[in-house]
Chain A
Amino acid sequence: MNPPAPRALIAEDEHLLAAALRQELARAWPELQVAATVGDGLSAVKQALALQPDVLFFDIRMPGQSGLDAAVELADAWPDDRPFPALVFVTAYDQYAVQAFEAQAVDYLLKPVQAARLQKTVQKLQQALINQAQPAINLEATMAQLRHLLAAPGVASPPAVATPGGTPPLTLIQASSGSQIHMVPVADVLYFEAADKYVRVLTASREFLIRTPLKELTAQLDPQVFWQIHRSTLVRASSITTVTRDETGKLHLELAGRAEKLPVSRLYAHLFKAM
């Protein structure tokens, strides 16, 4: 019996380009079924989880969230027992992103997509689907790539914002509440958590709200001191007391001085391994 036909999901906000990619794919890989085409980064994750395709084509710049953020969210929510789809990023012009893709051997397509280039990508994808490794290894490899992409300059954040390592580390958080501004020493902060438009700053006894985006904060904090454990959480590493794995395999942290448990995203689970 033949294996079931491979299925793809296309996430591209420009409908003409999405239609064109679909057409070109039909020519280059007739067996491939395009299960759905979505126009934003939020539906991309939803549809990928619902349809469980074998191949993803994610545009980088999309409304809702970027293709990269969508891939990260998807990796986190992906079920353990299914192989993670082969991921191909599509971009018109992002010199930084392309450099990062090359460095991480992540597959990508440049718009306008050209037949010869697409043919190469298709061959690679077909090869990957045949030799599909164990799901766990597959997912781990993808997550390592995504971690590197997130850290690469100009990929996760626009290149203009990326400060070239020149800013001194942040030592004081200035949080306003009402007409007051609280000066919170970074040394007292146990963790930062992004919440909607704000970032919560938590010390052992108090909580403050600031408006500086978590991405910007991350760049100003020492990565040895504050670890990213989730898209929305930065934790003081020295305050972590225990890491527990629940029945579904998810990791949770407990901190000295705080009662709540913090979930660890799968992307950052590699940080916690017994010696």
Chain B
Amino acid sequence: MTLRREFNAISKLRHYLQVLAFTLVVATLQYAFMPDKPYGPPVVYSVLIGTFTWAIIDLGRELMPSAAETGWPQGWQGIALVVAGIVIGYLAGTRLADALCVYYFHFYPAGASLSGADQRTSILITAIAGLVGSYYFYAIHKSAYLEDKMAEARMHASEARLKLLETQLEPHMLFNTLANLRVLIGTDPARAQEMLDRMIAYLRATLTASRSTQHPLAHEFERLRDYLELMAVRMGPRLTYTLDLPDALREVPVPPLLLQPLVENAIRHGLEPQVEGGHITVRASTRAAPDGPHLVIEVNDTGVGLPDELPTPGPGQSFGLTQVRERLATLHGAAGTLDLIAASAGGTSASVVFPLKSSTHP
């Protein structure tokens, strides 16, 4: 989503009123330093120069393409606009004020001109006031823009969380599991209770996963067992599984439910379409690498295997994998990888690899 600012007449008017007030302050200050001179002329000059400068900068920036997103032209364009605004504003404002002072307000007789010293003062005041005014609006814009950006980022973050939750609490899985539970309550209450316990543990893990940042690998494997047990009740003999976690790796911290999307994919895209079902193996091991040992977690299935070409990623599709990659990247940068390959004996193998060290000392 890009922020495209609309032309807003009310906000322009508000800017202009602020500019007018500012020019009156400038004129008053000028009068305060030189009380021997009349108050009228500085007000006329100040207001007119201010008006022209405002018109050029505030309206002019709407025409500059680089201002489309932030509302302020980028880099030298912004500086050029301010300089042009001040110079043209000074020249045009002075010219018009000269004419008004002579022919309308009759402050001076016709033909009178400002002394050199007055002109220099006037230029200096315009330059300083123009820069101060421009900086003021620039700063306001910048903070409004940053606030918008932050709101956008917050929205993305909560959207991602919601999506994660949606994939983990996939309604199809939920309702099928409930349907099975309903049957078991009548036929095998003990098994129903066991299934319900698995489901409670799975739901609890899912709902807290997005909040806590890491948990031991042993817990991760327990949650996978919950999920696989639930699926095993549903799929019966079509699903068998092996979880292989060496004792030495039990305490390695991992992001909660990092592996769940991989197991879910193995079932959904590997085993479920296959009439005879299959076997899922989740195995953790270590592998030596130049920068220290890496943790390798493999999820292998004997399902239908990868399609020749992965389907074009659409909205929601392959969200599971994207999500796993993003979480790995957040914790381990480029050192954390997820690879999906066709297993030699048919089926698919997904492997997550990341350095052991950086995860023990985050």
Across the interface, A64 reaches (CB within 8 A) one of B175, B178, B275, B317, namely: B275
> Which of A40, A110, A112: most chain B Cβ within 10 A?
A112
CB pair A93 B236 closer than 8 Å: no
Among residues 150 to 183 in chain B, which have CB atoms less than 8 Å away from a CB atom of chain A? 171-172, 174-176, 178-180, 182-183
A14 to B238, CA, bound (A): 9
In the complex, B311 has a CB within 8 A of chain A? yes
In the complex, A270 has a CB within 8 A of chain B? no
Q: Which residues of A contact B174 (CB under 8 A)?
A: 93
Across the interface, B317 reaches (CB within 8 A) one of A17, A161, A211, namely: A161
* Interface residues of chain B: helix, strand, loop or mixed (majority): helix
CB pair B233 A16 closer than 8 Å: yes
Q: How many residues of B contact A (CB 8 A)?
A: 29
CB pair A16 B183 closer than 8 Å: yes
CB pair A63 B274 closer than 8 Å: yes
A144 to B273, CA, bound (A): 27
A43 to B275, CA, bound (A): 10
Given the known interface contacts A16-B234, A160-B317, A197-B308, the answer about A42 and B275 at a Cβ–Cβ threshold of 8 Å is yes
Across the interface, A92 reaches (CB within 8 A) one of B172, B274, B314, B315, namely: B172
In the complex, A87 has a CB within 8 A of chain B? no
A216 to B236, CA, bound (A): 33
CB pair B236 A14 closer than 8 Å: yes
CB pair B183 A63 closer than 8 Å: no
CB pair A40 B275 closer than 8 Å: yes
Given the known interface contacts A92-B176, A112-B175, A197-B308, the answer about A61 and B182 at a Cβ–Cβ threshold of 8 Å is no
In the complex, A123 has a CB within 8 A of chain B? no
A14 to B233, CA, bound (A): 9
CB pair A161 B311 closer than 8 Å: yes
Q: Which residues of B contact A63 (CB under 8 A)?
A: 238, 272-275, 277
Across the interface, B172 reaches (CB within 8 A) one of A13, A94, A160, namely: A94
CB pair B172 A17 closer than 8 Å: no
A93 to B176, CA, bound (A): 8
Given the known interface contacts A14-B180, A20-B182, A63-B275, the answer about A92 and B175 at a Cβ–Cβ threshold of 8 Å is yes
A14 to B178, CA, bound (A): 12
Q: Which residues of B contact A158 (CB under 8 A)?
A: 317
Given the known interface contacts A16-B183, A160-B314, A160-B317, the answer about A111 and B176 at a Cβ–Cβ threshold of 8 Å is yes
CB pair A16 B171 closer than 8 Å: no
A interface, size bucket? 20 to 34
A140 to B228, CA, bound (A): 43
In the complex, B235 has a CB within 8 A of chain A? yes
Q: Which residues of A contact B317 (CB under 8 A)?
A: 158, 160-161
Among residues 174 to 208 in chain B, which have CB atoms less than 8 Å away from a CB atom of chain A? 174-176, 178-180, 182-184
Across the interface, A111 reaches (CB within 8 A) one of B175, B275, B309, B314, namely: B175
Query: What 0/1 readout, one digit per residue, does chain A (54-65) give for beta carbons within 8 Å of chain B?
Result: 000000010110
A40 to B276, CA, bound (A): 9
In the complex, B316 has a CB within 8 A of chain A? yes
Q: Which residues of A contact B234 (CB under 8 A)?
A: 14, 16
In the complex, A163 has a CB within 8 A of chain B? yes
Across the interface, B175 reaches (CB within 8 A) one of A93, A211, A216, namely: A93
Q: Which residues of B contact A163 (CB under 8 A)?
A: 314
A263 to B317, CA, bound (A): 35
CB pair A14 B274 closer than 8 Å: no
Q: Which residues of A contact B308 (CB under 8 A)?
A: 197, 211
Among residues 106 to 142 in chain A, which have CB atoms less than 8 Å away from a CB atom of chain B? 110-113
What is the CB-to-nearest-CB distance from A194 to chain B, in angstroms, rounded to a whole number? 14
B residues in contact (CB < 8 Å) with A: 171-172, 174-176, 178-180, 182-184, 233-236, 238, 272-275, 277, 308-309, 311-312, 314-317
Taking A40-B275, A61-B272 as known contacts, 5 extra A-B pairs with beta carbons closer than 8 A to each other, sorted by chain A number, are A14-B176, A16-B183, A20-B182, A93-B172, A159-B316
